[in-house]
Structure 1
Amino acid sequence: MRARRLRGGLRGWGGVGAMAFACALAVLFALLLPLVRSHGEGGGTGTGGHGVAHGSQARAAEECTEPWKQTLSPSGADGPTIDEIQNRRGEKRKLIVGVDQNSYRWGYRDPNSGGDAGLEGFDIDLVRRIAEDILGDRNAVQFKAITTDQRIPAIEDGWVDMVVRTMTISCDRLTEVAFSAPYFKTGQQVLAPKSSGITGYDKTLAGKKICTAAGSTALSTLKRDQKNGEPTADVDLDTTVPNQLDCLVRLQLGEVDAVVTDGALAASLAAQDPTVGLRGTPFTDDEYYGVAMQKDADDLVRRVNQILVEWRADDTRGWTYSYDRWLSQTMEDAAQWEPPEKPEYLRTS
């Protein structure tokens, strides 16, 4: 373990003022939490033979298809990784999880919730379900707020046991971390002011400034499409930020013309500001969120997959309960956001 637009006004969030509050929290946590090392600095990335490793990863990514199926079959058995977590003592006997604290309805701090504005949302429900299964206590979690581009380093460096942070399963990422079976299905989508002439991922983006999160699937997709002139070769992609919420702030300030991110996250951003909305339909094939873990944590991957099976089948406090509680009001079309189809487990080792 070492090695979705607004159906009414915003409910209790506070618009731009809450954005500033959330951003201030992000700065505070960045100061208080340990610094996650970037790629190439220590941890599991190493420096020796980097060119060879990079070449191997590139070849593996090119040969990969349907990455959301490349996971291990479910099992409730313990193993060395789970034993290490369960053997932690005292205050340290917690599941350590990298999460978001700025994604409305996914993983966020609601300043109107009272108390210490604890983390809540769809992803947080899943984290607590995992902790309850492994440690017998849904509150036995040490949350570590991380940015989009810190997700993989946090796992590789052993800073967290897993990351549950709207993380898309991709072929490139499978060369660095292991994923659970999918727990949510989405696709890339454009978010822009309703008063703008932007209609979707099309030529109305020509010459526009687009904001994305560093290390995101959106950014890699846009860079790839830009090389092919899709939808246009002159889109400005220079604005990258640590978190998707920062893109909404940039949009509100008029510093960018549009945001591109996962449709599920774009819907949550739109729910925070009635002047913006999703434009067009998702422009990528289906993408899937998974729980990310270290590549050699096979027992933990199998255990999380077993938990996901049970979470989806639970009619009282399972997937549907969490979806209805956190996401249903922000999504434009509930039918579009059904759980992923029955998982396939094609990875054998």
Structure 2
Amino acid sequence: MKEGVTVRARRMRAGLKGWGGVGAMAVVCALALAFVLLLPWARSQGDGSTGTGGRGVAEGTPAADATCKNPEKQTLSPSAADGPTIAAIKARQGEKRKLIVGVDQNSYRWGYRNPNTTGAALEGFDIDLVHRIAQDILGDPKAVQFKAIPTNQRIPAIQEGRVDMVVRTMTITCDRVKDVAFSAPYFRTGQQVLAPKSSTIKGYDDTLAKKKVCTAAGSTANTQLTQDRKAGKLPADTDISVTVPNQLDCLVRLQLGEVDAVVTDGALAASQAAQDPTVELKGAPFTAEYYGVAMKKDADDLVRRVNQILVQYRANGWQASYDKWLSATLGEDAATSRPPAPQYLRTS
């Protein structure tokens, strides 16, 4: 038993070398402990939740509902006009006059607390976008109250009014557009397999037979695997029972040898591979999907405003943020990560 624990500890230390050494290991351990202690509170209040091979996104099928086409186009046209939702945000007084945004704090280079900065500052590609939205709406990029939200709490947090929006690598899907409103896409990615370099797994194929795969609860990866196994596109004996609140928990499970592979967005998986040199992406992405900013279903003015901000951000800001946070893991050429020209098919 002692020997097994030692082996796990060595593997964990090896996996954390890419994330800042001893200091980062302490941070991850602290986060893991906090997760265990605070999970019951998190489910009611919301708490926190990516190397090589991640270059480009292969052409794939849209994730989730096969009867639905182009959910990323079901958004409202841009407008800089204020409305009731924005007016309510601007009416907040004093320290409360902030944009309340649900984010991730554990996704390396997307939304994560950097242990090498004063106060473990929250930073990443998604965080840059949040600051840009706050600058436009409130005139101050720092006028943000961040709320760390687990993957499976993103939609409830919006519907219950705990946040004004969620900017958290959230894929636009047909099921989700029934519950929340999305902006136009701001990033393109696809589902991909992450596994140890020594693994016999080759990708999203028959090599996953008899393997245990981890996904985040409420994620498009979890939905895709469930649908594909029922349809016979995934081996029937692939174990997909392991789900966690946050994607980083899957990487920890993989490092501890509790699962054989992780399936998540390729953009996140590439960043996780950058954290742990013992794992790598296996095979090409097998879906094509898009991240959007999620808001309340009836917050039309906010949706239009965010779309207006994105028009400007794609022209001036998006590339600089990509270069800073993602080029090291996804490659210098951002062409395959850029979303297509937006279409605004939603009319009301």
TM range (shorter): 0.7 to 0.9
**Residues in 2 aligned to 1:183 and 1:19: alpha-carbon distance in whole angstroms:** 32
Residue 127 of structure 1 pairs with residue 126 of structure 2: no
In structure 2, the CA distance between the partners of 1:214 and 1:32, relative to structure 1 (3 Å rule), is: closer
AA aligned opposite 2:186? Y
Percent identity reads 73
**Residues in 1 aligned to 2:177 and 2:21: alpha-carbon distance in whole angstroms:** 37
In structure 2, the CA distance between the partners of 1:221 and 1:143, relative to structure 1 (3 Å rule), is: same
What's the counterpart of residue 181 of structure 2?
178
Q: CA deviation at 1:28?
A: 4.0
Stretches of structure 1 lacking an aligned partner (at least 5 in a row): 1-8, 39-60
Within-5 A mapping of 1:121-160? 121-160=124-163
What's the counterpart of residue 345 of structure 2?
346
Q: CA deviation at 1:24?
A: 2.1
**Residues in 2 aligned to 1:148 and 1:92: alpha-carbon distance in whole angstroms:** 25
**Residues in 2 aligned to 1:180 and 1:245: alpha-carbon distance in whole angstroms:** 25
In structure 2, the CA distance between the partners of 1:187 and 1:163, relative to structure 1 (3 Å rule), is: same
Judge conservation of contact 1:169–1:289 (CA < 8 Å) in 2. Answer: yes
SS of the equivalent of 2:192 reads strand
TM-score normalized with structure 1 length: 0.85
What's the counterpart of residue 220 of structure 1?
223
**Residues in 2 aligned to 1:188 and 1:136: alpha-carbon distance in whole angstroms:** 36
What's the counterpart of residue 330 of structure 2?
331
In structure 2, the CA distance between the partners of 1:333 and 1:240, relative to structure 1 (3 Å rule), is: farther
Q: CA deviation at 1:65?
A: 1.6
Q: CA deviation at 1:252?
A: 0.6
Q: CA deviation at 1:258?
A: 0.3
Residue by residue, what CA displacement relative to the aligned partner does 1:61-87 show, whole Å, maximum 9, x if unpaired?
Answer: 776320000000000000000000000
What's the counterpart of residue 303 of structure 1?
305
**Residues in 1 aligned to 2:32 and 2:256: alpha-carbon distance in whole angstroms:** 19
**Residues in 1 aligned to 2:262 and 2:39: alpha-carbon distance in whole angstroms:** 29
What's the counterpart of residue 55 of structure 1?
none
**Residues in 2 aligned to 1:169 and 1:263: alpha-carbon distance in whole angstroms:** 15
**Residues in 2 aligned to 1:166 and 1:299: alpha-carbon distance in whole angstroms:** 22
Residue 117 of structure 1 pairs with residue 92 of structure 2: no
Judge conservation of contact 1:36–1:159 (CA < 8 Å) in 2. Answer: no
**Residues in 2 aligned to 1:10 and 1:88: alpha-carbon distance in whole angstroms:** 41
Judge conservation of contact 1:211–1:258 (CA < 8 Å) in 2. Answer: yes
Q: CA deviation at 1:246?
A: 0.7
Q: CA deviation at 1:174?
A: 0.5
In structure 2, the CA distance between the partners of 1:90 and 1:216, relative to structure 1 (3 Å rule), is: same
SS of the equivalent of 1:96 reads strand
Residue 255 of structure 1 pairs with residue 290 of structure 2: no
Residue 275 of structure 1 pairs with residue 275 of structure 2: no
Q: CA deviation at 1:230?
A: 1.5
Judge conservation of contact 2:327–2:334 (CA < 8 Å) in 1. Answer: no
SS of the equivalent of 1:259 reads strand
Tell me the number of residue pairs that the alignment of Structure 1 and Structure 2 aligns. 314
Judge conservation of contact 1:36–1:154 (CA < 8 Å) in 2. Answer: no
Judge conservation of contact 1:13–1:112 (CA < 8 Å) in 2. Answer: no
SS of the equivalent of 1:271 reads helix
Residue 94 of structure 1 pairs with residue 98 of structure 2: yes
In structure 2, the CA distance between the partners of 1:263 and 1:344, relative to structure 1 (3 Å rule), is: same
What's the counterpart of residue 314 of structure 2?
312
In structure 2, the CA distance between the partners of 1:117 and 1:17, relative to structure 1 (3 Å rule), is: closer
Q: CA deviation at 1:339?
A: 1.1
Judge conservation of contact 2:189–2:337 (CA < 8 Å) in 1. Answer: no
Q: 2:243 aligns with which of 236, 240, 243?
A: 240
Judge conservation of contact 1:187–1:263 (CA < 8 Å) in 2. Answer: yes
In structure 2, the CA distance between the partners of 1:35 and 1:199, relative to structure 1 (3 Å rule), is: closer
Judge conservation of contact 2:23–2:115 (CA < 8 Å) in 1. Answer: no
Stretches of structure 2 lacking an aligned partner (at least 5 in a row): 1-14, 46-64
Residue 21 of structure 1 pairs with residue 27 of structure 2: yes
Judge conservation of contact 1:105–1:326 (CA < 8 Å) in 2. Answer: yes
Q: CA deviation at 1:27?
A: 5.1
TM-score normalized with structure 2 length: 0.85
Q: CA deviation at 1:110?
A: 1.1
In structure 2, the CA distance between the partners of 1:26 and 1:178, relative to structure 1 (3 Å rule), is: farther
Aligned CA RMSD, in angstroms, stands at 2.3
**Residues in 2 aligned to 1:26 and 1:119: alpha-carbon distance in whole angstroms:** 17
SS of the equivalent of 2:290 reads strand
Residue by residue, what CA displacement relative to the aligned partner does 1:229-280 show, whole Å, maximum 9, x if unpaired?
Answer: 2231111011111111111111011110000000101111101011100000
Q: 1:211 aligns with which of 211, 214, 218?
A: 214
What's the counterpart of residue 55 of structure 2?
none
SS of the equivalent of 1:210 reads strand
